[in-house]
Structure 1
């Protein structure tokens, strides 16, 4: 049955359903204009304050690094961004494996995911948003770390690309594996990247102690950044397409568990309840394993 205004009657339009959900959540004022202005002032003040602190730290770091002229110091400057970016990539995979990266709230899972809806049309924006957030945040952290280590402007841009594309590619890869409900590959890649980060830090310590010569390794740091950026870009596109094709296969429990974990951690972090954060993480790990050892 069809209608000239509503087209097929009885067939779910996921876009209109998403707009209706948005209206339910944001279509009603829950604070006064003065509360909104106060919140905006606090946000702007915080951004300006943190930005000023970061700029001051970067300028100070550039001044300190200007006197770095020994071989060991220059080698450490070249390898430290690589160790930091590897840590960022490992942390990205940890968060992706912990939360999703595609998530849904318990209410959405109950009302929408079990209904006659196309999950792909409901979840594709969330997947793209997760990839974009990883791209922006990874690029910002990569650029910040490179700036704090005294890298020149081209080097800052290179490490920003490495951090951004690398993080976005890994999030897309985790999303593609989420569609198959397969975690061991993501966990293996996470362990490998973490081992690279730890190994690089150990090499930095050994070089500072004079045990090994880091000159050759430091000269390859920029090339490694290009490789990470290129592989991340390819992974973001290829794995992103795979993740899009597999969105219909994500189980409802997998979606809602990440959303519940995220909301629980947000509440505990807001109250600074670190013991509660630990309990929530232990519970989530036990649920993922499916059993506990007495």
Structure 2
């Protein structure tokens, strides 16, 4: 066999030296600046508006957090001290689980299709090309960890040094979580096991929230336990008197967190060259689609993009024969479709931590609102089938049923999940009328959002600092949440229990008796005789 029949080997002598990643980025930056048509003052005006908006939001939010911290610190009830004790066992597992799932759904390191075609398929150092995206992921993880820790601990009355300690621990923890997701991105098997670990953290947070709710209901303080000793040692409490000892502990803990996080970041950066190109490009396509969904303010489209990414990675599944006819067959297929992605059910069950955690804080008036929004997030992923039908004229014709009947049939399985979810959250909600109102609000909200029409670009444009915006985009994000709040109104205003049944019942009746507004025509009536 001649040498020409062997594999092709790259020889730098034939094509010249391989360019470095810094040289490529410098060249791309030069090309982009050469084609820019915006002046410096136009760019400065946009940057100024963004910075000013962030400053105003930070100032107002910081003022609210400060007042809540002062009010919670002055609280002498047993429930207030219990909340500070339980916050680490609820907040930190939720942060870890959420960060693992969000980063793994995106990549976490991603690259555009152009980068994957022109750069990642060449002998250029892949690790150097992906390093800016990796730095962005680590920075976002650190900022989110610090922000959630400051808000989560300060709102419930923790002292200044306890907030500082919690911020350092949470920041280092989420940075290490981001590094772990980058390692997991190198193998599909590692991704599956990492998602299972995320589900385990959700279970831990749910157990801690349930324990907090039980403790608060019984009005019993958690005294002389190992958990309290651990919290006082690592995080500190608002009543700690050894300020100098806390300062020393903050310095030691900060140094340890910095060393651990830096070591994890450096070690993970060396493994960027082993990331597969398919995963990088898929993450870039997902981010591009999510940017389009954010521009149109279509929350349902955003959920569909994430679900599409999941099913593309799965590839194919074993098909199963359906059962029954028409409505019965559709209900059976929806049930099978939900079971094909059981992790969504696990996440929905993990969101039960929200009403129990709020109930444990003693703010009973906020429990129905927290339960409603948590149940909405848990039930919305189960409505993918209804959304596909409502936005596909051909699919409605192929099924041969009226869209109103299809909406009722495809809402049976999510309705069963909503009923089970609200019954599980019933002890935190308190009574049957509140539970019914929350269940009706969740069901009508997710059905309305899933069966809503695409964004409308008709009508005159509305001037805004971001430019001209179609008025139909403003109503897109609140679809579904409006019915949720409408069902919760009798609970929030403290109306008699009868109204907690009447108003949500009327909303349910109108939701399933009206035909969805869509461009899909009604199928022709069947011939008689």
TM bucket, shorter chain: 0.7 to 0.9
The Cα of 1:111 is off from its aligned counterpart by 0.6
Q: CA RMSD in A?
A: 2.9
Which residue matches 2:309? Answer: 284
The Cα of 1:27 is off from its aligned counterpart by 5.0
Which residue matches 2:271? Answer: 246
Distance across 1 between alignment mates of 2:317 and 2:37: 43
TM-score for both structures, normalised by structure 2: 0.50
> Among residues 186, 191, 199, which one is paired with 2:194 in the alignment?
186
Distance across 1 between alignment mates of 2:109 and 2:184: 11
The Cα of 1:213 is off from its aligned counterpart by 4.8
> Among residues 285, 293, 317, which one is paired with 1:260 in the alignment?
285
Distance 1:37 1:218, change over 3 A: same
Distance across 1 between alignment mates of 2:104 and 2:274: 17
Distance across 2 between alignment mates of 1:255 and 1:85: 28
Unaligned 5+ segments in structure 2 are 1-10, 236-248, 320-529
Q: Is 2:141 the counterpart of 1:134?
A: yes
- Given that 2:93 and 2:204 are in contact with CA atoms closer than 8 Å, whether structure 1 keeps it comes out as yes
Which residue matches 2:91? Answer: 84
Which residue matches 2:175? Answer: 168
> Among residues 225, 230, 236, which one is paired with 1:220 in the alignment?
230
In terms of Rg, which structure is larger?
A: 2
> Among residues 203, 212, 217, which one is paired with 1:209 in the alignment?
217
Distance across 1 between alignment mates of 2:32 and 2:193: 37
Distance 1:27 1:186, change over 3 A: farther
The Cα of 1:47 is off from its aligned counterpart by 1.5
Q: Is 2:162 the counterpart of 1:155?
A: yes
> Among residues 189, 202, 208, which one is paired with 1:200 in the alignment?
208
Distance across 2 between alignment mates of 1:233 and 1:138: 14
Unaligned 5+ segments in structure 1 are 3-7
Distance across 1 between alignment mates of 2:73 and 2:219: 25
Q: Which has the higher helix share?
A: 1
Distance across 2 between alignment mates of 1:253 and 1:235: 30
Distance across 2 between alignment mates of 1:80 and 1:14: 44
Which residue matches 1:49? Answer: 56
- Given that 2:82 and 2:216 are in contact with CA atoms closer than 8 Å, whether structure 1 keeps it comes out as no
Q: Deviations over 1:168-200 (max 9, x none)?
A: 001011112223443123112212222222222
The Cα of 1:132 is off from its aligned counterpart by 2.8
1:52-67 correspondence runs (5 A) = 52-67=59-74
- Given that 2:141 and 2:171 are in contact with CA atoms closer than 8 Å, whether structure 1 keeps it comes out as yes
Distance across 1 between alignment mates of 2:261 and 2:315: 31
The Cα of 1:261 is off from its aligned counterpart by 0.7
| Count of residue correspondences | 289
Q: Deviations over 1:144-189 (max 9, x none)?
A: 2211111111011011012100100010111122234431231122
Q: Deviations over 1:96-137 (max 9, x none)?
A: 211121111111001101112121221233223322331232
- Given that 2:120 and 2:277 are in contact with CA atoms closer than 8 Å, whether structure 1 keeps it comes out as yes
Which residue matches 1:5? Answer: none
Which residue matches 1:114? Answer: 121
The Cα of 1:223 is off from its aligned counterpart by 4.2
The Cα of 1:264 is off from its aligned counterpart by 1.1
Distance across 1 between alignment mates of 2:267 and 2:147: 27
